[in-house]
Amino acid sequence: MQTRVTKEHSDYVLNGTKVFVTNAPVADVFTIYGTLDPKLGATGICGFIVEKGTPGLSVGKKKDKMGLRTALMAELALEICRVPATALLGREGRGADVFNCSMAWERACILATCLGTMRRQLERCIDYARKRKQFGQPIGKFQSVANRIVDMKLRYETARLLIYKVGWLMQENNSADMDAAMAKLYVSESFVKSCLDAIQIHGGSGFMTELELERELRDSVGSTLYSGTSEIQRNIIARGLRL
């Protein structure tokens, strides 16, 4: 449901529901976007900073997720939630600009954590392929295993460079919207593929919860959804190419 914003004197009144809100059960402050008038499109969107405990703001029951279970999630409800003009984030009607800027930063940084997991998976698979023997030799000598590890290495190195490039662009105050979208798209989808390869390399052991490879796979699926789905990233990239 889209959050509607109405203005009453110097205050704003928010009504609506935000369904998937990360850290909602533990957050002290919320960033909320709503529209003054749907007919205005992006120019009608406003951003607000709303503190926990504000009358009219309520947090629903914690949601159970497939992965990323340590990042709590819940629904946020706004019912005649009145906030002062000082809660406005930026200028009235510029919420879309604020949101897009913050999302560029988020896409640039949020998947950096995936690099650590991808690197650990790679090192773990190399070590396993050297030690695990079948038919009298380490399984890493078999092309079907070695090729998967090579692909994991390529994905990791490419993902690392993409994320570092976005960080450099933003540090230099250059536009990075398309590059951030490319990094988000490539890293998230590469993360899923590398998780599947890691499980396959470890065979039956990889399917067991003991090695926690299945947990990494469940978490990786989430990376293709949060901060904009893979489809959204492709739209941003296409727009950056003026298609």
Domain stops at, among 51, 71, 93? 93
pLDDT of amino acid 80: 93
Strands 11-22, 137-138: pairing kind: unpaired
Query: 61-119, pLDDT tens digit by residue?
Result: 899 999 999 999 999 999 999 999 999 998 888 888 888 888 888 887 888 889 999 99
Give the largest Cα separation in the chain, rounded: 81
Domain endpoint, select from 93, 121, 144: 93
Same domain, 230 and 169: yes
pTM, rounded to two decimals: 0.87
The C-alpha torsion from 176 through 179 and 185 to 189, rounded to 10°, is -130
Domain tally for the chain? 2
User: How far lies 189's CA from each of 84, 105, 118, 177, 196, in Å?
Assistant: 42, 19, 12, 18, 11
Residues 10, 88 share a domain:
yes
> What is the reported pLDDT for 2?
67
- The residue type found at 20 is F
One domain for residues 141 and 195: yes
**d(Cα 163, Cα 187) in Å, to the nearest integer?**
8
Q: Are 108 and 159 in contact (CB under 8 A)?
A: no
201 and 226 inside one domain: yes
Q: Which domain holds residue 89?
A: 4-93
Report the C-alpha dihedral over residues 53, 57, 60, 66, rounded to 10 degrees.
-100
Question: Do 15 and 56 belong together in one domain?
Answer: yes
CB within 8 A of 186, min separation 6: which ones?
A: 158, 159, 162
> In tens digits, what is the pLDDT along the chain, a chain of 243 residues?
568 888 777 789 999 999 899 999 999 999 999 998 888 888 889 999 999 999 999 999 899 999 999 999 999 999 999 999 999 998 888 888 888 888 888 887 888 889 999 999 999 999 999 999 999 999 999 999 999 999 999 999 999 999 999 999 988 989 888 999 999 999 999 999 999 999 999 999 999 999 999 999 999 999 999 989 999 999 999 999 999
Active site residue 189: no
d(CA 117, CA 126): 14
What is the model's pLDDT at position 101?
A: 82
Q: Of 77, 45, 47, give the one whose Cα is nearest residue 60.
A: 77
pLDDT at 158: 97
The confidence score (pLDDT) of residue 175 equals 85
- What tokens were used for 131? 């030690």
| Same domain, residue pair 116 and 9 | no
Residue among 49, 12, 5 at smallest CA distance from 28: 49
Given 69, 93, 117, which residue is the final one in a domain? 93
Residue 134: which CATH number? 1.20.140.10
Find the catalytic residue in 75, 92, 106, 157: 106
